[in-house]
Amino acid sequence: MDVLISNWKNVESVPESFVFPPHRRPGNIVVPMSKDIPVIDLKYCRNPGVEAIQQILKASQEFGIFQVINHGVSESLMNEAMDVCKDFFDMPGEYKAGFYSNDPIKSCRLYTSTLNYDKEEFHYWRDNLTHRCHPLHEDHILSWPDKPATYRETVGAYSVQIRKFLLNILDILCQGLGLEDGYFEGELTENQLMSINHHIPCPDPSLTLAMPEHCDPNLISMLQQCDVPGLEIYKDGQWTGVEPIPNAIVVIPGLQLRVISNEKFKSAIHRVVTNSKEPRTTIGMFVIPSNNIVIEPARNITRDVPAVYTSYLYKDFFSTFTGKGCEAETVLKCFRLVD
Ligand SMILES: O=C(O)CCC(=O)C(=O)O
Ligand SMILES: [Fe+2]
């Protein structure tokens, strides 16, 4: 069978290599949609009011995830970006094969499950296309799909608008934490990856997952869900769904924000489940520090309270993260100063 699940047709049962051991299966439990995850209305503001700032801070403290509406990113551009991403996964297998790679160094790679496909015990029900998209160097753009024909133009414009949006959110968090102006400018936000997930309908969603339980290891992430649910967060001992709201942007502060905020902020534990009816496509954008930047609890915060974490290089955090099976608490423990 073809490795890429987006090439599979008429799938009648879950192949054995995608069936999880019983204790890791999502099972048949119906997970309700969360009524609590904050939905923050920015009313198209470049300079959001005090109320929105307070809401974003509170959401970062209590949930480590929130949704934003009226965010200023063009709705038609969001729809066009989703369309070109879906169209890419609908392209013939021979075209997509040119992008297939499990090499994390490659600036554009298409793979199934995880980059560890060859060694992992069981596979996740997803295909993923990841590529760099900041700065918009021609070298990067030339590595992106050239089909559908509008992919590069649309995704280029989308990357720029989403970056503006995420930097604006970081400015708000910077003010809210009382950090010096421009704290997140430069190397802390040097890289940006676009990560498109595609899941075909799964004949038995109780047996497998589309993405494992995880926290995002980077600085901050955004997600554009399509209208098909699947994203869930783990809070207060249970899983709840993140409702797909048309044109909303989901924001997840990453583990680096948890460290920089000295544990004031959370980074939501999340996973993705499959469904048997419809394909699901989502676009994620990850803002990532440069490898050699020092990450530490912000000094403006640790003037008054003890630092919870030691200083480290981002690359050391990231290699520990992948080395420890992407298990957030285990990794954070390696850099903790206090229990
Ligand atoms: O596709 C989703 O809804 C979530 C994706 C995600 O969590 C990730 O790519 O890190
Ligand atoms: Fe994630």
Q: Which numbered atom of ligand 1 lies nearest the CA of 231?
A: 3
Radius of gyration of the chain from its Cα atoms, rounded to whole angstroms: 19
What pLDDT does residue 29 have?
A: 87
What pLDDT does residue 44 have?
A: 64
- The least confident of 28-37, 148-157, 190-199 is 28-37
Sheet holding 231-235, edge to edge: 211-214, 269-272, 231-235, 238-241
CA of 270 to the centre of ligand 2 (A): 6
Report the percent of the chain where pLDDT is more than 90.
90
Q: Give the CATH architecture of domain 33-291.
A: Sandwich (2.60)
| Res. 46: pLDDT tops 70 | no
What value does the mean pLDDT take over residues 90-105?
94
What pLDDT does residue 142 have?
A: 96
What value does the mean pLDDT take over residues 176-197?
96
CA of 270 to the centre of ligand 1 (A): 8
CA of 196 to the centre of ligand 2 (A): 11
Specify the residue with its C-alpha closest to ligand 1, atom 5. Answer: 284
| Res. 47: pLDDT tops 90 | no
| Res. 115: pLDDT tops 70 | yes
What value does the mean pLDDT take over residues 124-135?
96
What pLDDT does residue 56 have?
A: 96
> What is the number of H-type helices and E-type strands within the chain?
9, 14
Euclidean distance between the first and the last CA atom of the chain, given in angstroms as a whole number: 48
97's tokens: 């094969």
CA of 338 to the centre of ligand 1 (A): 31
What pLDDT does residue 1 have?
A: 65
Specify the residue with its C-alpha closest to ligand 1, atom 8. Answer: 284
Residue range 273-290, pLDDT digits in tens: 999 999 999 999 999 999
| Res. 45: pLDDT tops 70 | no
Strands (E), the chain: 39-41, 66-69, 108-112, 127-134, 191-199, 211-214, 220-224, 231-235, 238-241, 249-253, 269-272, 280-288, 294-295, 312-313
- The least confident of 14-28, 34-48, 81-95, 213-227 is 34-48
CA of 138 to the centre of ligand 2 (A): 28
Specify the residue with its C-alpha closest to ligand 1, atom 9. Answer: 284
| Res. 127: pLDDT tops 90 | yes
Residue range 218-267, pLDDT digits in tens: 999 999 999 999 999 999 999 999 999 999 999 999 999 999 999 999 99
Residue range 317-338, pLDDT digits in tens: 999 999 888 899 999 999 999 7
Ligand nearest to C-alpha 231? 1
Check: complex ipTM more than 0.90: yes
What value does the mean pLDDT take over residues 120-131?
97
What value does the mean pLDDT take over residues 135-157?
95
Specify the residue with its C-alpha closest to ligand 1, atom 3. Answer: 231
* Ligand 1 binding residues, C-beta < 6 A: 195, 197, 211, 216, 223, 225, 230-231, 270, 272, 282, 284
What pLDDT does residue 149 have?
A: 98
Q: Where are the domains of the chain?
A: 33-291
CA of 272 to the centre of ligand 1 (A): 7
Q: Which numbered atom of ligand 1 lies nearest the CA of 216?
A: 10
